[in-house]
Structure 1
């Protein structure tokens, strides 16, 4: 049994050595002129992939945060409109994207339409208001 284990150990040691040498060879390589080759090393590729992954995760986190902020803005604008006696009974659609609120639907008067813009602009986080309300005589 000992004679079979020795060749297996030697083969394992040889394989580990070859793997180690291969990884070292993939590290910082220098050509005969003493300059770094143009092909990136494995380590550089891993660093680049890690950086791209971190950037993508950061971008995704920003998008999620923006959506949460937009949802909070929409809820606040809806609450403000609901408190107004002329606008509360109206079906006004509020949509927010990147802090810009879009109001759609009917308004009973031009004054109520203008008030809807003012109410939306007063909400924290609102970057702008697109008032697409239509004044309907009633």
Structure 2
């Protein structure tokens, strides 16, 4: 992390290429990982909490009661919530689309399948699967 009295940026290193580092400017960095989610100080942020989990609007975008703050994965709760990794991936996809609209108001988001379009890496390069060769059946 970079900053003196407040967070200014984080430095990211690629696991395979330690020599390739780059900075991402940010105001907040809250990495959460674990098998037993505990809210800690987040519980005092004014978020709506139910059974030690953050309530979100799962009908739209996994936003909390505070606009622009999202909660995905095991840390959130909503009717019918399943604490499965697969559900977290789904929640992250919808949350990212909503965050995109906040960051880019009025700009259309076009969903593309990563198996077709590739993925932009943190280092700015595009990762693409090799093109399959389709042969005709006689």
Q: TM-score range by the shorter chain?
A: under 0.3
Q: TM-score, length-normalised on structure 2? A: 0.20
Is the radius of gyration larger for structure 1 or structure 2? 1
Say which structure is richer in helix.
Answer: 1
